Amino acid sequence: MNWGEQIVLGLLLGGVYVAVGLGFSLVWGVLNIVNLAYGAMVMVGGYLTWLLFVHGGIDPFVGLPIDVVVLFGIGYALQYVVINRVVRAPFLYTFLITFGLDLIIVNALLLVFKPDFRSVTTWYSGAAFAVGPVLVPYIRLWSLLAAWALAAVMWWILNRTRTGDAIQAVGADRDAAQLVGISLRRTYALTFGLGAACAGVAGALIATFQAITPTAGEPYTLQAFVVVILGGLGRVSATVVGGMMFGLVEVLAQSAPHLGAGYQNAIAFGVLVLVLLLRPQGLLGRTL
Amino acid sequence: MTQPDDVLLSLRNVTRHFGGVAALDGVSFDVRRHEILGVIGPNGAGKTTLLNCICGVHRPDGGEIRFDDRSLRGLPAHRVARLGVGRTFQIVKPFASMTVRENAAVGALFGSSDARLPTRGAFAYADEVLALVGLAPKRSLPVASLTVPDRKRLEVARALCTKPRLLLLDEVMAGLNAVEVDEALEMVRAVHASGVTILLIEHVMRVIVGVCQRVVVLHLGRHLAEGRPADVLRDPRVVEAYLGERYARRHGGD
Amino acid sequence: MAVETEPDEGHVAAVAVRTPAGARRERVLVVALTVALAALVVVPLLSTDQAQSAGLPEVVDRYAFRVATIVAMFVVISAAWNLIGGLAGYPAFGNVVYFGIGAYAVAVLVTRYHWSFAGGLVGAVIVPAAFAGLIGIPLLRLRGHYFAVASLGVAVAVGEVINNLDYFGGASGIFMPIVRSDLLFYYLMLGAALLAVAITWVVLRSRFGYGLIAIREDESAAAVMGVNTTLYKIAAYALSAALTGLAGGIYAQWNVFVNQDVAFNIDVSIDSILMALLGGIGTIWGPVLGAVVLEFLIQTFAGRGDLAVVTQIGLGLLLTVAVIFLPRGVVDFFGGRSSLGLTYVKRTLRESGV
């Protein structure tokens, strides 16, 4: 087994997990909502990218902004109209409602796109360049860069804009934020929309190297959860670390002797257990 | 180390940290049988942390707590309760979906070893205790319909149902007006008369002076002073702790 | 608000106090349930060959049997979930893992070790309970989201592992010897459903039940009152696992075939929670009502291809709507504790929404 290659691949895969983790972490950290429909939203992003590519000839990376806008809109609407109605109820209810949304979204995708696998194959899909003995596929490298760019944008939004201030205020103290005039309804919707936009980007990136089908998003929800716990809830930097690490772990674990691609969920769960037992606040999190 | 006969609870050098801050720093004092001991101190003095350490909600980082000559080290909260330590919470924690009667009965169902009764007996005992605190007419109501003073009474009743030998009261008087405080004082005296040793955290000095035989003062997690209420409240160090150094200097500490 | 003069001892009130109208409604419900139970037991007997040859009318056909058996199965699973999710307040999202473990226990014990079906069922109860007892120790230390997702993770992880191991037949699963008797499995599931309801009834009246509800309402207050929270949580979890495993064990033999998709289907978990929700979480009859209504709906609209997909969408919509407008379920209404009107809905929205 080529260690170097595994590590490089792991880091490249980590980029995807960074994108996957960012949206999930934001919604969880600010709204205290664990979004069980997250994997489905990722797939929506993937299908959107596929549509743009197959019917519009738009390169998946070029189409990212469209992904962002559309998914943001969907997320904003969902939060404003539906999820906002239960945010102050016990968490069981937000859990159930996001699962309901997951059912709706996945099955709507099934209805429209059928369960066939779709892929996005660009002219450069197979191209790679060599770094020593390791072959680095261009697509994976650009995905990684796109993910980091997304992280940078998210960090900038959250820490350098007034919107970000409002979001962080609401996340820190909902009642105090209301007292200073921040609209909870709109801020929540904004936050969820941003989370959905991240999911859309993640989906676009995934579509470039993996065949997609409506149910393929399912493992990503659990993985997003683990990425956030691994890195630590609440900060973009923590999610970046968590995502990269998780990519590494996944690649290395899957190349271990008895495991393989069929153990995706089991590996994610194993990491979850380890983190919760050994360092529950995550790698970068503050001590609870 | 064994305790002398008249000491029910003893703390030696109890320490508890949160993050880098020492909420409790080497606190030592005794609670004698059948007394009402007050614990006072400015906000942040560590009073609630003290109760949490005694009843097992938090584990002290250092020091020794002995109850009736048994070490409480490492015991989970329910074991401490079974040994006979009852406790109320500063922000009351009723079981919201149960009635008043059922709340109190939980104490009787699970409390100290000689208290744990089968269901019917538990409810009968709960009724008695509710009568003691004056909640009998409201016993079938859901807790949501109770007023603040009544919720405090329920909190005390529920703890009493565990048949404690030591009852820890955490700011029972908070949020009560003058009349309600008087009623609550009556309740505390009645509880004491039934043979329970009481450790009372309070801010309302009238209560401390009115019902406590001795007082311990905590400040910044440390034991500051101890003695009879009148003496302690005149102690210049205590005044300074509450009102600040400048006030103490300005008013000569007397 | 009317106040009861002498409240039931040992009967835990859900939210508000029973009104006279509510007490009447509850009596009607009890009578209706008794009649229904008698019918459930007796009517299917009319379909036996002996009854048929004696000329008795066949009131229900084979299809109805199957639907009824599945409904009974969901009553068991939903009532079992209710113990840990509704009473103790720890909403496990992966309880289907015990269904699967119970199913595979029967499958493995019967096909590999040549046990009888009855013996297999004993295994289907004990193995999940033991597993739950073990994994509950770390799992139940978690709260809220962490617990819910971790329990979900257990289910997907165990399903995946079993799918990959040859001992369990791998992806091809295990085929059981065929037992052709719809009647047998109907009565078995019905028995299991009655057992589940009976256990819920007993628990709600016992010290154990009070302890669980105290844990749900305020765990630290419960601990300080003397409730051994760790023990009680694990006991509730193991009990719910045992019941769920029983359902899985019966299903394994009935379905004759088990594999990961059959045994570890997350939809089963979600459906059972939705049923408890619709009926009323934490009540005795909530899961029963919810299971009956929802499963009938599902079976009515079940179909192939696009219809199955649309049914799932319908389910998702139902779940969403139920969570928003009806979080305390319908049984609340039958107990007279609230009236299912616009005011109730508006109040719910105001309390839960933003």
Q: What is the pLDDT along chain A (288 residues), one digit of tens a residue?
A: 577 888 888 898 899 999 999 999 999 999 889 999 999 999 999 999 999 999 998 999 999 999 999 999 999 999 999 999 988 888 888 888 999 999 999 999 999 999 999 988 888 888 888 877 888 888 889 999 999 999 999 999 999 999 999 999 998 888 899 899 899 999 999 999 999 999 999 999 999 988 999 999 988 998 999 999 999 888 899 999 999 999 999 888 887 777 777 787 888 888 888 888 788 778 887 654
Assigned domain for B252 exists: yes
Tens digits of residue pLDDT in B88-104:
998 899 998 899 999 99
Highest-pLDDT range among A127-131, B21-25, B140-144, C228-232: C228-232
Report whether pLDDT(C4) > 70: no
Question: Taking a C-beta distance cutoff of 8 angstroms, is the pair C17, C1 a contact?
Answer: yes
Q: What is the dihedral of CA C25, C29, C35, C37, to 10 degrees?
A: -170
Residues facing B219 on adjacent strands: B222
Residue in chain C nearest A87 by alpha carbon? C353
What is d(CA C309, CA B120) in angstroms, rounded to the nearest whole number?
52
Enumerate the residues of chain B whose CB falls inside 8 A of the CB of residue C228. 76, 78
Q: Do residue A97 and residue C323 have CB atoms under 8 angstroms apart? A: yes
Give C6's pLDDT tier (boundaries 50, 70, 90).
very low
Residue whose C-alpha is closest to residue B156's, from B146, C120, C78: B146
Instruction: Tell me what pLDDT residue A45 has.
Output: 95
List, in sequence order, every beta strand (DSSP E) within C107-189. Answer: 174-175
Between chain A and chain C, the number of residue pairs with CB atoms below 8 A apart is 134
Instruction: Tell me what pLDDT residue C20 has.
Output: 67
Strands B7-18, B62-67: pairing kind: antiparallel
Say how many CA atoms lie within 13 Å of B69 toward its Cβ. Answer: 6
Print the domain residue range for B33.
1-75+213-222+233-254
Tens digits of residue pLDDT in C117-161:
999 999 999 999 999 999 999 899 888 888 988 998 899 899 989
Instruction: Tell me what pLDDT residue B246 has.
Output: 58
What is the token pair recorded at C352?
Answer: 């839960």
| Chain C contact for A222 (CB, 8 A cutoff) | yes
Question: C-alpha C155: how far from its chain's center?
Answer: 16
| Chain A contact for C342 (CB, 8 A cutoff) | no
Strands B36-40, B222-227: pairing kind: unpaired
Q: Domain with B40 in it: what CATH number? A: 3.40.50.300
Residue whose C-alpha is closest to residue A223's, from A212, A239, A234, A208: A239
Domain tally for chain B? 1
Buried/exposed C13-50: b ≥16 CB within 10 Å, e otherwise: bbebbbbeebeebbeeeeeeeeeeeeebeeebeebeee
Assigned domain for B116 exists: no
Assigned domain for B20 exists: yes
Q: How far is B80 from chain C (nearest CA, A)?
A: 8
pTM of the model: 0.87
Assigned domain for B168 exists: no
Residue whose C-alpha is closest to residue A226's, from A244, A206, A246: A246
What is the token pair recorded at C260?
Answer: 């990961």
Give B233's pLDDT tier (boundaries 50, 70, 90).
confident
Enumerate the residues of chain A whose CB falls inside 8 A of the CB of residue C313. 103-104, 107-108, 111
Q: Do residue C220 and residue B77 have CB atoms under 8 angstroms apart? A: yes
Q: How far is A128 from chain C (nearest CA, A)?
A: 33
| Chain C contact for A86 (CB, 8 A cutoff) | yes
Report whether pLDDT(C72) > 50: yes
Specify the residue for token string 């979900």.
C152
Give C83's pLDDT tier (boundaries 50, 70, 90).
very high
Phi and psi dihedrals of B112, rounded to 5? -65, 155
Chains touching B by CB (3 or more pairs below 8 Å): C
Question: Taking a C-beta distance cutoff of 8 angstroms, is the pair A46, A215 a contact?
Answer: no
Tens digits of residue pLDDT in A118-162:
988 888 888 888 877 888 888 889 999 999 999 999 999 999 999
Instruction: Tell me what pLDDT residue A246 has.
Output: 93
Assigned domain for B133 exists: no
Question: Taking a C-beta distance cutoff of 8 angstroms, is the pair A199, A23 a contact?
Answer: yes
Could you give the percent of chain C with pLDDT greater than 70?
Answer: 87
Q: What architecture is domain C20-352? A: Orthogonal Bundle (1.10)
Domain residue ranges of chain C, discontinuous segments joined by +:
20-352
| Chain C contact for B151 (CB, 8 A cutoff) | no
| Chain A contact for C34 (CB, 8 A cutoff) | no
Assigned domain for B1 exists: yes
Average pLDDT (B213-220) is 92
Give B3's pLDDT tier (boundaries 50, 70, 90).
low
Q: Which residues 6+ apart lie within 8 Å of B30 measured at CB?
A: B3, B7, B9, B10, B11
Give C349's pLDDT tier (boundaries 50, 70, 90).
confident
Report whether pLDDT(C14) > 50: no
What is d(CA A95, CA C281) in angstroms, rounded to the nearest whole number?
15
Q: Do residue A101 and residue C148 have CB atoms under 8 angstroms apart? A: no
The total of other beta-carbon atoms located within 10 Å of residue B39's CB is: 27
Q: What is the dihedral of CA C132, C134, C136, C141, to 10 degrees?
A: 180
Question: Taking a C-beta distance cutoff of 8 angstroms, is the pair B108, B117 a contact?
Answer: yes
List, in sequence order, every beta strand (DSSP E) within C68-180. Answer: 174-175
Specify the residue for token string 């909502």.
A33
Question: Taking a C-beta distance cutoff of 8 angstroms, is the pair B167, B87 a contact?
Answer: yes
| Chain C contact for B136 (CB, 8 A cutoff) | no
| Chain C contact for A269 (CB, 8 A cutoff) | yes
